Amino acid sequence: MRRSSIKWFAALFALMLLLAACGGDKEDVGGDDGTDTTEAESEASDVRVALAFDVGGVGDQSFNDAALRGLNDAIDAGLISEENTDFLEPNASGSNRDANVENLAEQGYDLVVAVGFAFSPGIDEIAPEYPDTNFLVIDGFAADAPNVQNANFKEHEGSYLVGAAAAMKSEAGTIGFLGGQQGTGLIERFQAGYEAGAKEIDPNVKILVEYIGDSTAAFNDPTKGEALSQKMYDQGADVVYHAAGASGAGLFKAAVEANMYAIGVDSDQSLTASPEQQELILTSMLKRVDTAVTNAIDQVVNDSWQTGFVVLGLAEEGVDYAVNEFNDNDGLLSGEIQTKLDELKQGIIDGEIAVPDAP
């Protein structure tokens, strides 16, 4: 670059600095909705937030993705800035999940979200070592500590609704349930609600049940998820609901092969499914992990941290059933079915229906 050009740019830069120093109101550079994006960005706090995912990681189209959506919602709402966030994914077995949490705490994040109940024992050891970091454990049972919050959900309530939907949709009178890890009591809550909701509609409905395994690896085995789903379809089920994390991808493959219905979990899974799968996903049981994450971020930002256990059910909009462009009144989730589900939903919220939380 010629010396004269350098001098010209230097002069221009000095003029820009002078104008900035002179003050004056910020220019309104609002977006299409009329919001002042410059002001929104300036109002975002400097709170730093990180996620530690469990097995399946980003792209599981279920549990982990729901947590990431909650983080992104907080960014979109102007609570935090994207540059102040991060996440770590575990290895296939999840054996390094605690190391990931400690890594993020060591980096000084104000909030570390541990996405899964399996983090709880590790949080008991790690949280006291990092008193200036808050920890949110999804489905957690970590010990009571001033910097730990356990977010739990009434999965049985949401599962009750999709169980009723399955029974109303079934022509065979046989439906199925595919669980991930057996023996912790968590996935059994999904099963219990699903069975109760189905029997509310049809006391004689037959419910087939299969679990993938007894470790967290059961949430990341779509091959076995497909095989067990196909087994239930072969045994006469025409609707199968899964609570199996990333393993649930196998259910959707089996549904296409059998040309039978499937029900998703955690997120609205028809939104990320293939076109041929979308035609067969009756609904999904929404477990609002995103809401729990966004709420916790808001608490840290506004210095209103809630210690202990937070439980989200239908009344708290923590669980629900999904209605979207693919299943709304197009032969999948008819108006009749939706009316009945909304009636049952209100009955649960009002305390008129007690949903069991164990099979």
pTM of the model: 0.82
For the chain, the straight-line distance linking the first and the last C-alpha, in angstroms and rounded, comes to 76
Which two tokens mark 200?
Answer: 């509310």
Angle between helix 249-258 and helix 222-234 axes, rounded to 10 deg: 40
Q: How many CB atoms lie within 10 A of CB 353?
A: 17
> CA–CA separation, 262 vs 278, rounded Å?
9
CB-count burial class (<10 Å; 0-12, 13-18, 19+) for 328: middle
Q: How many CB atoms lie within 10 A of CB 137?
A: 28
User: How many Cα atoms within 13 Å fall on the side-chain side of residue 293?
Assistant: 30
Model confidence pLDDT, tens digit, residues 123-180: 999 999 999 999 999 999 999 899 999 999 999 999 999 999 999 999 999 999 999 9
**pLDDT tens across the length of the chain (359 residues):** 333 333 333 333 343 333 333 333 333 323 333 444 334 445 789 999 999 999 999 998 888 999 999 999 999 999 999 999 999 999 988 999 999 999 999 999 999 999 999 999 999 999 999 999 999 999 999 998 999 999 999 999 999 999 999 999 999 999 999 999 999 999 999 999 999 999 999 999 999 999 999 999 999 999 999 999 999 999 999 999 999 999 999 999 999 999 999 999 998 999 999 999 999 999 999 999 999 999 999 999 999 999 999 999 999 999 999 999 889 977 799 999 999 999 999 999 999 999 999 99
Which two tokens mark 223?
Answer: 């091959």
> Within the chain, where are the H helices?
3-21, 37-43, 63-76, 97-106, 120-126, 155-169, 186-201, 222-234, 249-258, 275-278, 289-301, 335-349
Task: Classify 273 in phi/psi space as left (phi over 0), alpha (psi -120 to 50) or beta.
Answer: beta
Domains of the chain as residue ranges with CATH: 46-153+290-312 (3.40.50.2300), 155-287+328-349 (3.40.50.2300)
> CA–CA separation, 96 vs 118, rounded Å?
11
